[in-house]
Structure 1
């Protein structure tokens, strides 16, 4: 790799890592998100705060940058790339846990955003046409490859819920190319912008569109199937009455938040996919030819 090519690779990897961290920080700052950490407080969580989430997101910058560099050096999507990125992700998680003193702030986001950064770097490095759909197709290709070096460990909360309720989790979403992002999140974000809504409300409506659809394993773990159905129905009601920018929508939002706080349900899976939605939108804006 010559010097110019090397400089270009480092510039792209730095830029993508910056966009990834910014998207994670903007997601946690987006307010109001029912029962989630935002600028008002910790929602249904007792161990998370806004400063902690921001600190955690910034700690992931080197991990995202390393993933992007690996993708740009890969000639194709294969097991070697999958396993290299997997190792980088596990190291990044350990760094995150050091920063947060063992609190799981962004484990799900490491998976979803890590794949998004890797796929974006590969697509931008190897193609002239850049789109969110093309990036998500590469995400699916990477996620469908098994990593032989994943250590044996007890089932995560998400895996326990998948086994108990027979639902699909974060791994499935990635292996399918983030269908909730492509079919609900990004389309709603673009529709709301087209209607002239402020960016805050456009992002919130994208969040609620995904909340109405996703079988969020974080919610299932905390409050079971009934909690999930209440969350999905409440999110859909917000959209049905005009979205988060309308008076009726804000009333429904407040009702949903009171309900979710009562059952201690926190849509962490939706939050991770909102960050991915913001990231893909920004990549498309910055790198479309």
Structure 2
């Protein structure tokens, strides 16, 4: 059974995911512009609907961590079982969000284990949970894990075991852009591009290979080096990158899931000015 605290964490995580979906223009990624095109409207509506299907599973992950009280192999196995069940539920609701589910699930569990921790501490604390192997995981490797092995990429598991370094970089980018006077949309886009600029995105590796991944990373760096999305030059570079990725059908989905994780941590009351006082 979940508590009000667990349900609140799940709602915050889903809100972060839907906030990521609402952000535009996201290079190569679904965003509200898809609602204006008949060919993509249904897909975007499906993503928004299926995001809500994550809530029960995320609340259950938080409850499992709260009951456990510490990171253990048993907790890791329970989180894995809940996650796979949630994947099935999300699939029935329209699919998508697999990477976001696991990122948000680990982060929600880490918050439940240490409710008073700050955002960066929470991200680092996921290492304690991810350090254990999921003994209930299917023996057949997933596409993401196969790509990770093939190209030596960290992948979702490596990101969690490292304490979500790209989530922490996104949090830093949010703070920097806001301090510089960027709008919230511009700050979030800069955070996304910061992740894209260095993440070894297994989805991109699968679609575009190592050369394609490096091209996307360079494009994201180009926007940031032009001053970020709050500048005219940066906005122009973003538009060019967006057009290129959509034309090639290259989608940096791993970066989108990690941005959702950063937005979730950023939204927690403990990270607000009042909570930090």
Q: 1:138 Cα deviation (Å)?
A: 2.0
Quick one: which of 101, 104, 110 aligns to 2:101?
Answer: 110
1:214 Cα deviation from its structure 2 partner: 0.6
1:1-289 to 2 correspondence within 5 Å?
A: 10-41=3-34, 49-100=43-94, 103=95, 105-124=96-115, 129-153=116-140, 155-182=141-168, 184-283=169-268, 284-285=270-271, 288=276
Change (3 A) 1:216 1:46: farther
- Give the TM-score normalised by structure 2: 0.92
Partners in 2 of 1:48 and 1:35 — Cα distance? 17
Tell me if the contact between 1:130 and 1:288 (Cα under 8 Å) persists in the aligned partners.
Answer: no
CA distance in 2, matches of 1:48, 1:288: 41
Distance 1:47 1:83 in 2: 37
Alpha-carbon distance between aligned partners in 2 of 1:151 and 1:215, rounded to the nearest angstrom: 24
Q: Compared with structure 1, are the counterparts of its residues 110 and 47 closer, same or farther at alpha carbon in structure 2 (3 Å cutoff)? A: farther
Q: CA distance change for structure 1 residues 188 and 48 in 2, over 3 Å: closer, same or farther?
A: farther
Tell me: CA distance 1:288–1:73, structure 2 relative to 1, closer, same or farther (3 Å): farther
Mapped to 2, the partners of 1:140 and 1:288 lie a distance apart of 24
Gaps in structure 2 of 5+ consecutive residues? none
Root-mean-square deviation over aligned CA pairs? 2.0
Contact 1:223–1:264, Cα closer than 8 Å, also in 2: no
Offset of 1:48 from its aligned partner? 7.1
| Number of residue pairs the alignment of both structures matches | 272
Unaligned runs of 5+ in 1: 1-5
Retained in 2: the 8 A contact 1:29–1:50?
A: no
Q: Tell whether the 8 Å contact from 1:123 to 1:134 is kept in structure 2 after alignment.
A: no
TM-score (norm: length of structure 1): 0.89
Spell out, residue by residue over 1:229-288, the C-alpha distance to the aligned partner (whole angstroms, 9 max, x if none). 111111111111111121111110111112212322100000000000001111243665
Structure 2 CA distance for aligned equivalents of residues 79 and 47 of structure 1:
42
SS class of match (1:41): helix
Output the CA distance in 1 between the equivalents of 2:101 and 2:276.
Answer: 25
Give distance in 2, aligned partners of 1:14 and 1:166. Answer: 37
